[in-house]
Chain A
């Protein structure tokens, strides 16, 4: 299957600082990337969908100004958590859809565990 690389795999930051998470499709072009959040023992919650070269579409209840998403190329999307607070601590996972593929043909990164102290 296609490979999606997410970096960093874990990060600890101080409250009030910003953190950037990168999601790269290594061996395919991804017109669409998805960002999820997962709390312990809970399912994946879709935060936003980003399309290359356009603004991200955020799910209801997700703060656009807090979770900045940039999809500058067909192989890279970034999620920046701005002014992070302890309640933002979570597991963030990106997913990339193969160009021209069905929505279902999406591959996941390994996730980033964010801890805000």
Chain B
């Protein structure tokens, strides 16, 4: 079993839809949870960073962490074609290496 599981997609939605991206993990020691956006042939860009459980909102993006279920989510409201990219979840215990999910490819059609 992988430490971090993420559906590779692709996930296709129409413009304006609410998008839900998810990851599950097995290591209960993970404390820091990140979401990265990666455009084709580019490096990942940090979108959201959450410590422990709870919600965090930044514009159209909301990150949720449920440590009891070992489940994290990224919601994108009013999705735009420019949101089309691969979204990677990542997590770690703190001063340890990041463990990445495989990424979910999102396609937002106009």
Contact = CB atoms under 8 A, between A and B. Distances in A.
Is B a genuine binding partner of A?
Answer: yes
Interface stretch (A41-49, A62-70, A78-86): A41-49
Contacts of B88: 43-44
Contact of B95 (A1, A41, A103): A103
Contacts of B92: 103-104
Given A42-B102, A104-B92, A93 B49 contact: no
Interface stretch (B11-19, B38-46, B60-68, B75-83): B38-46
Interface residues of A, number: 23
Contacts, number: 54
Contact of B101 (A43, A95, A102): A43
B44 A113 contact: no
Nearest to B36: A108
Interface string A78-114: 0000000000000101010000001110111111010
Interface residues of B, number: 23
A93 B94 contact: no
Contact of B102 (A43, A91, A106): A43
Nearest to B33: A104
A4 B96 CA distance: 20
Contacts of B101: 43
Contacts of B98: 46, 103-104, 106
Nearest to B88: A43
A6 B43 contact: yes
Contacts of B96: 103
A12 to B, nearest CB: 14
Contacts of A113: 41
Interface of B: 8, 32, 34, 36, 41-46, 49, 88, 92, 94-98, 100-103, 105
Interface of A: 1, 4, 6, 34, 41-44, 46, 49, 91, 93, 95, 102-104, 106-111, 113
